Amino acid sequence: MESIQVKTASKQYPVLVGEKAIQELPELITHEFNHINKILIITDEKVAELHLQSVKQALIKAGKPVLQHIVPEGEHAKTFDVFYECQSYCLSQKLNRKSLIIALGGGAVGDLAGFVAATFMRGIPFMQVPTTLLAHDSAVGGKVAINHPLGKNMIGAFHQPEAVIYDLEFLQTLPLQELRSGFAEVIKHSLIADHDFYQWLKSNIVDLNDITDEQFMTMIKKGISIKAAIVEEDEKEMGIRAYLNFGHTLGHAVEGSMGYGNFTHGESILIGMIYALKLSIKKEGLDFNLEEFIEWVSQLGYRITIPDGLETAILLNLMKTDKKSVNEAATFVLLNQVGSPILMDIADSELIEEMIEMK
């Protein structure tokens, strides 16, 4: 079992990573949160079938009443209607400020359940229990939100969890597409923060079906540590935390245009990362072997071009409504070298030209 401490201006909390990590949950609740009167697990339909009973079984040792609320799978959970249903369930079950919400699932469930916790009675505690590789990124840092048709994660809050319990055994049930989605965020962390980690990934991860437990532990620990260091310095994205959005400006636009849930988050941001790397080479003179990168990610099964049918004008408009942008230009995270990101406003004409080349 590995423990990583996340320290922010508002809270310090542990991230426990390892096989059977879920067995640490009742002891953590008993010792640190014994005042809790009820526990609500929010999870999705697929995760409930796979893992809900084992988590509830573990929680018996905490000696608290355990409730459950099941929501739709993936991005379909991050709607106002589902959020409202969760709030109604909390009220109907008489949860209060001494209640605890557990987000059991991937990034979408974590975002939704965290936002429910952030807003119910102006904020109650919650814990993240990730079941996907993607959630190694989203479960840490306290950004919680739901989507709006005009933008991803546009309605949300900063609400840090009390703890993150990352049981590596949950990853064994992940389908390949979900592994691919999560691994894109691992690649992102390496590109913005650690050249050696990027080289390790490129040398060691050549088939997503053959990732070992040791490799999972290495990449998850490294990714969480990179994110934790950035969040500690900039909890509420007033500066460097925006670097974590490398690839997300175009990526979110692609994801939204395809329809949330129809194209995975990670596969979308991988396209966005290629786009940002091209802009970095053009604008910042980034010394980077893009052909080698594209060959590697193509072998891993990623799409490397903007999907057919997506209009350049619509993508451009969505990029300009990204949360990083503070004026009428689109703001991008670029690299002047691997491990050294910057923010830059880029003119529409250059963005359109590069999009046309990626179709």
Number of C-beta neighbours around residue 142 at 10 A: 22
Three-state secondary structure string covering 165-220: EEEHHHHHHCCHHHHHHHHHHHHHHHHHHCHHHHHHHHHHCCCHHHCCHHHHHHHH
**Which residues, in sequence order, are bridge partners of residue 141?**
none
171 is in an annotated binding site: yes
The separation between CA 22 and the C-alpha centre of its own chain, rounded to angstroms, equals 20
Per-residue CA distances from 95 to 81, 125, 169 (Å): 20, 11, 31
Report the alpha-carbon distance of residue 201 to residue 206 in Å, rounded: 8
135 is in an annotated binding site: no
Contact assessment for residue 137 and residue 223, using Cβ atoms and an 8 Å cutoff: yes
131 is in an annotated binding site: yes
69 is in an annotated binding site: no
78 is in an annotated binding site: yes
107 is in an annotated binding site: yes
Nearest in space to 75 (alpha carbons), one of 39, 120, 119, 105: 105
76 is in an annotated binding site: yes
108 is in an annotated binding site: yes
Number of C-beta neighbours around residue 239 at 10 A: 11
Q: Identify the DSSP state of 306.
A: P
- Residue 118 burial class via C-beta count within 10 angstroms: exposed 0-12, middle 13-18, buried 19 and up: buried
265 is in an annotated binding site: yes
20 is in an annotated binding site: no
143 is in an annotated binding site: yes
Nearest in space to 178 (alpha carbons), one of 3, 293, 44: 44
Per-residue CA distances from 116 to 19, 69, 102, 158, 195 (Å): 28, 12, 11, 12, 37
111 is in an annotated binding site: yes
Contacts of 92 (CB under 8 A, 6+ apart): none
* SS3 call for 36: coil
173 is in an annotated binding site: yes
Contact assessment for residue 281 and residue 291, using Cβ atoms and an 8 Å cutoff: no
Contact assessment for residue 17 and residue 224, using Cβ atoms and an 8 Å cutoff: yes
Per-residue CA distances from 99 to 38, 41, 62, 240 (Å): 5, 11, 13, 33
301 is in an annotated binding site: no
Residues marked as binding?
A: 73-78, 107-111, 131-132, 143, 152, 170-173, 185, 248, 265
Residues marked as binding for Zn(2+)?
A: 185, 248, 265
Residues marked as binding for NAD(+)?
A: 73-78, 107-111, 131-132, 143, 152, 170-173
